[in-house]
């Protein structure tokens, strides 16, 4: 029987994770105890849940004193209970990368006086039957991050990688893992690729991320999606039709275009950028090979919800895609120019103008959109 105990907590009522992500199904802060000749605790929890986490810890320790606290990541959703832990256990050795150890004082008025053990690439820590081996994974998702491989049970404690929003014991992995990865870690594709290469050298039977469920069984689907996401290649052929409309005409044109694409056999999702969850729209933009953006002109530029979306795409390294544009402007169309300016900064993104609307949608606009949808469907076939 495994001597690894899960002591993580489920945060059901946080309104915005990391100050910006809606998590209608909550989020977990995962943490573990390994009871062996030596006792190790792996990560703490957000300070919102310190009391519950300490109760779980106390029950799992069953009277043992923790010899080591393994700190994978200093972000406060995981290290937020470090202060409470070090007050209770001032002699426990803090095991982390040198970078993580140097960051601890940033979160303390008076840093803890616990002994520390800096660890680097491949360093092993024997606990008895269990041995942890550490691998720094800088920028997955902060610079101090490391993952740990437990040799006897072949477990990769993967820090933020492979995490997802939501309860650990409910819901599919892929949709909330995609939204989590692309919004939170998405900018750092190259570091994730380096981690995946290291992971290939290990015999991994289970992945224990810091959020969401333990992954076990056939790990290839998870590894394959991470390879796709971190290399910025599309997961599926299809179009996200995203629109930002002031009075409804731009929306009408965008939805007509979406309907014509579907009629021509193209997989389509739509996103009303004035109302939808922008992180989910971003995840869908990355999922698909093609993107159609339709926006009203505004103050000599583009309607702000579209600008917000473009800013998010840029900050997450959106690339290697085909983008089609529709602008609307009654007296001085300017949305297209602004959208081009944002998209021109991105790598390997081809941009094509589809139509300029002038106010309402006319028969000539519908005819042009119908023809464009047919041509795009043919190109994608
Ligand atoms: Fe779940 Fe980057 O912290």
CA end-to-end span of the chain: 52
Q: Is the CB of 73 under 6 A from ligand 1?
A: yes
Q: How many helices (H) and strands (E) does the chain have?
A: 12, 22
Which ligand 1 atom sits closest to the C-alpha of 160?
A: 1
- CA dist 92 and 115 (Å) reads 7
Q: Is the CB of 46 under 6 A from ligand 1?
A: no
Residue 11: Cβ within 10 Å count: 18
pLDDT per residue, tens digit, the chain (381 aa), is: 678 999 999 999 999 999 999 999 999 999 999 999 999 999 999 999 999 999 999 999 999 999 999 999 999 999 999 999 999 999 999 999 999 999 999 999 999 999 999 999 999 999 999 999 999 999 998 999 999 999 999 999 999 999 999 999 888 999 999 999 999 999 999 999 999 999 999 999 999 999 999 999 999 999 999 999 999 999 999 999 999 999 999 999 999 999 999 999 999 999 999 999 999 999 999 999 999 999 999 999 999 999 999 999 999 999 999 999 999 999 999 999 999 999 999 999 999 999 999 999 999 999 999 999 999 999 999
Q: What is the pLDDT of residue 1?
A: 66
Q: Is the CB of 75 under 6 A from ligand 1?
A: yes
Q: Which two tokens stand for residue 19?
A: 């100050």
Which ligand 1 atom sits closest to the C-alpha of 210?
A: 1
Q: Is the CB of 164 under 6 A from ligand 1?
A: no
Q: Is the CB of 282 under 6 A from ligand 1?
A: no
Q: Is the CB of 210 under 6 A from ligand 1?
A: yes
Q: Are 291 and 242 in contact (CB under 8 A)?
A: yes
- CA dist 318 and 232 (Å) reads 7
Pairing status of strand 32-35 against strand 39-42: antiparallel
Q: Which of 244, 219, 231 is nearest to 311 (CA)?
A: 244
Q: Is the CB of 77 under 6 A from ligand 1?
A: yes
Q: What is the pLDDT of residue 207?
A: 98
Q: What is the pLDDT of residue 171?
A: 81
- The residue whose CA is least distant from atom 1 of ligand 1 is 160
The HSE-up count of residue 209 (CA atoms within 13 Å, CB side) is 24
């Amino acid at each position: 029987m495994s001597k690894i105990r899960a002591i993580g907590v489920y945060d059901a009522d946080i309104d915005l994770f990391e100050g910006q992500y809606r998590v209608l199904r909550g989020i977990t802060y995962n943490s573990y105890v390994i009871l062996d000749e030596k006792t190790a605790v792996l990560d703490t929890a957000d300070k919102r849940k310190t009391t519950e986490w300490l109760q779980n810890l106390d029950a799992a320790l069953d009277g043992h004193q923790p010899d080591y606290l393994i700190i994978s990541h200093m972000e406060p959703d995981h290290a937020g209970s470090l202060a409470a832990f070090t007050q209770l256990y001032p002699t426990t050795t803090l095991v982390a990368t040198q970078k993580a150890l140097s960051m601890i004082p940033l979160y303390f008025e008076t840093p803890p006086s616990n002994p520390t053990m800096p660890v680097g690439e491949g360093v092993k820590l024997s606990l008895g039957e269990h041995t942890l081996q550490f691998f720094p994974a800088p920028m997955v998702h902060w610079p101090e991050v490391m993952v740990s491989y437990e040799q006897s049970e072949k477990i990769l404690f993967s820090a933020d990688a492979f995490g997802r929003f939501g309860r650990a014991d409910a819901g599919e992995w892929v949709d909330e893992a995609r939204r989590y990865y692309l919004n939170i870690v998405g900018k750092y594709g190259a570091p994730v690729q380096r981690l995946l290469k290291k992971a290939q050298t290990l015999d991994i039977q289970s992945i224990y991320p810091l959020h969401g469920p333990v992954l076990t069984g056939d790990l290839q689907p998870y590894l394959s999606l991470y390879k796709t996401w971190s290399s910025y290649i599309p997961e599926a052929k299809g179009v996200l039709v995203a629109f930002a409309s002031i009075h409804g005409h731009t929306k009408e044109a965008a939805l007509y275009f979406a309907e014509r694409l579907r009629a021509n056999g193209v997989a389509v999702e739509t996103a009303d950028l004035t109302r939808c969850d922008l992180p989910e729209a971003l995840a869908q933009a990355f999922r698909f090979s093609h993107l159609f953006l339709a926006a009203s002109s505004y103050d000599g530029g583009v309607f702000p919800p579209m600008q917000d979306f473009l800013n998010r795409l840029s900050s997450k390294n959106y690339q290697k895609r085909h983008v089609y544009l529709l602008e609307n402007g009654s007296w001085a169309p300017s949305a297209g120019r602004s959208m081009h300016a944002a998209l021109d900064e991105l790598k390997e993104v081809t941009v094509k103008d589809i139509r300029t609307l002038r106010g309402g949608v006319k028969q000539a606009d519908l005819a042009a959109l119908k023809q464009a949808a047919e041509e795009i469907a043919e190109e994608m076939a």
